Chain A
Amino acid sequence: MKLSNESDRVKREVLVRVARALFAGTPETLDRIPLQMRPKGQPFSRCCVYRDRAALRYRIMAALGFREEDETDELKPLAAYAAEVPARSRNPEPFISILAEGCSACLESQTTVTNLCRSCLARPCAVNCPKQAVHVKNGRAEIDRSKCVNCGVCAKACSFHAIVQVPLACADACPADAVGKTADGRVAIDHAACVRCGRCQAACPFGAIMTCSQMADVILKLKSGRNVIALPAPALAGIFPNDPRKINGALRKLGFAAVYEVAAGADETARREARELRERLASGEGFMTTSCCSAWVETVRRRLPELARHLSRTPSPMRLAAEMARADHPDAVLVFIGPCAAKRTEAALGGGPDHVLTAEELGAMLVAADIDVDACDPAPAVRAGSREGLRFAVSGGVASAVAKELPAETPLKPYVINGLSPKMIKLLATFAKTGKAPGPLVEVMCCEGGCAGGPCSFEDPARAAARISAL
């Protein structure tokens, strides 16, 4: 399970410490965090304590919402960055930032012959290679890099497990082929192709890909006494092991003035999307895809523009929930909270919430404020969603919510894409080309399992999904 991992722990510890300093109104203590986390004479993770501290400084910058790439003065105190937070009206977009000091310049994803090769008589590696890239030379199998397509057939065929496929975690996780390398082998992201899904940052074993948090903006606005309203995503009900009404209670205790569940927006999305689907089918269109997943919308925009006319024009649950809150409180600060990275980009387009927090960041804020969700009083949401709305967070849930909104005489057989990958993007491209899809409604979720499997979470995706399905 991905959860058991020291890199995630470091990321969360940084978020907790930053949240604590901001809640306490002591930004001058931010510069001490690297020293507190890596004190003199104590064990370290990288080559030395100083490199650990340098990396932690950039993690704190990202936690405050600043990109390492934008740094102009290495001696600028972290407190000075924190002082810039209240005045800024925009958060960085793209929000992904590379921790150059952290990137290990891992090898390209490749299939390699190890010393275990015994140069056997059978040579299943060479015989089964579809590209004739494997030859035995000098008593050992060799792979011709110019021919190898990294399919792994030879590795599976070898009787001695002497051939291994070495992955490149960040690039292999990317659904959009947007992760590449700089000349010195470090990670580079093509922001024009990047669909903002955040998988690379969750996958990197060195924690070298960071996201710029909006947590500092939210904490300072909560402290300023402004009317700040929480829009918790349906997935949160699966990520926390608590009664969802207690999560609302914990949000109130953190200082949010009111809670509008995004599931209520999801109910409205399902109603409107069902109407839109009927109209499109009646006018002779072959199919329509859902549009609630921000990383999927970015995928269409950046990788599959030919599919744009099939993308639903119905606003996402986040946007509709924000509209509900905005109608009641025109001057409030609206904060979406979920396990998604890409919602930051959707929010940056405007018309929705003012800020996006991740589930991990909310968790860190609760830890910093010493709030135990279970001990909170259950609190009602101003707008609460139905069970169908909550199930938007699980793969298949959007399609079934739309199906329920259709009249009984028009049963819907949707086609569900549970997780984007380069292969799935190719498949979707064929739908655009032919104008046909295996179902009239194509539900696309970028994350496997749906939002419950989002990359900015602290829960096992399967358990989060099971919790939501059981509600």
Chain B
Amino acid sequence: MIQLQICQGTTCYVMGAAQLASLAAQLPEDLRAHVQVAGSRCLGLCRDGAFGGAPYVRIDGEVLAAATPDAVIAALRARIQGHGMPSPSRGYHETQQ
């Protein structure tokens, strides 16, 4: 069973963890049986000005920064397939105007 901890500390919540709060219900069928989702108190990862990486989640103890539902699901899949953790998927969208 993979343990997914979603930080619910104020920094993570303000910077976007609110959208992760219903992740347990959004998980694809194939992942649901393998993942245990739990909210967590502040994991302390945002200290010393590291708010830019919030929201944070922990997957079996490993930290994923700038977590979005898609990034978390991708990381869970990678873990199940034994590829370890991918780098955060959040990139700046290079939308040309």
Contacts and interface: CB of A to CB of B under 8 A. Distances in A.
Given A47-B96, A374-B41, A13 B52 contact: yes
Interface in B11-41: 11, 13-16, 18-19, 21-22, 41
Interface string A229-244: 0000000000011100
A458 B14 contact: yes
Contacts of B9: 372, 374
A373 interface: yes
14 contacts: A4-B68, A12-B15, A13-B15, A13-B52, A44-B94, A104-B97, A242-B10, A363-B13, A367-B10, A367-B15, A458-B14, A460-B18, A460-B19, A463-B22
A345 B18 CA distance: 28
B88 interface: no
Nearest to A102: B97
B95 interface: yes
B7 to A, nearest CB: 10
A45 B14 contact: no
Given A458-B15, A460-B19, A463-B22, 20 more contacts: A6-B92, A9-B15, A9-B16, A13-B51, A20-B49, A43-B91, A43-B94, A44-B92, A45-B93, A241-B8, A241-B18, A250-B10, A366-B14, A372-B9, A372-B42, A373-B10, A458-B14, A458-B16, A459-B18, A460-B22
| Chain B residues touching A, majority SS | loop
A367 B51 CA distance: 7
Contacts of A374: 8-10, 41-42
Contacts of B46: 367, 370
A372 B10 CA distance: 5
B83 interface: no
Contacts of A275: none
Interface of B: 8-11, 13-16, 18-19, 21-22, 41-42, 46-47, 49, 51-52, 54, 68-69, 90-97
Nearest to A246: B10
Contacts of A8: 16
B10 A371 contact: yes
Given A366-B10, A372-B42, A374-B41, A4 B19 contact: yes
A364 interface: yes
B41 A3 contact: no
Interface of A: 1, 3-4, 6, 8-9, 12-13, 16, 20, 43-47, 104, 240-242, 250, 360, 363-364, 366-367, 370-375, 458-460, 463
Nearest to B51: A367
Nearest to A45: B92
A45 B94 contact: yes
Q: Which 8 A-B pairs have CB atoms at the shortest separation, nearest pair first?
A: A363-B14, A3-B19, A43-B92, A372-B42, A4-B19, A367-B11, A373-B10, A459-B18
Given A9-B16, A45-B94, A372-B9, A463 B51 contact: no
Given A12-B15, A241-B21, A375 B92 contact: no
A462 to B, nearest CB: 9
Contacts of B51: 13, 16, 367
Contact of A46 (B11, B18, B52, B95): B95
Contacts of B41: 372, 374-375
Given A43-B94, A45-B95, A366-B10, A4 B16 contact: yes
A19 to B, nearest CB: 11
A44 B96 CA distance: 10
Contacts of B95: 45-46
B68 A370 contact: no
Contacts of A459: 18
A241 B46 CA distance: 18
B87 to A, nearest CB: 13
Nearest to A8: B16
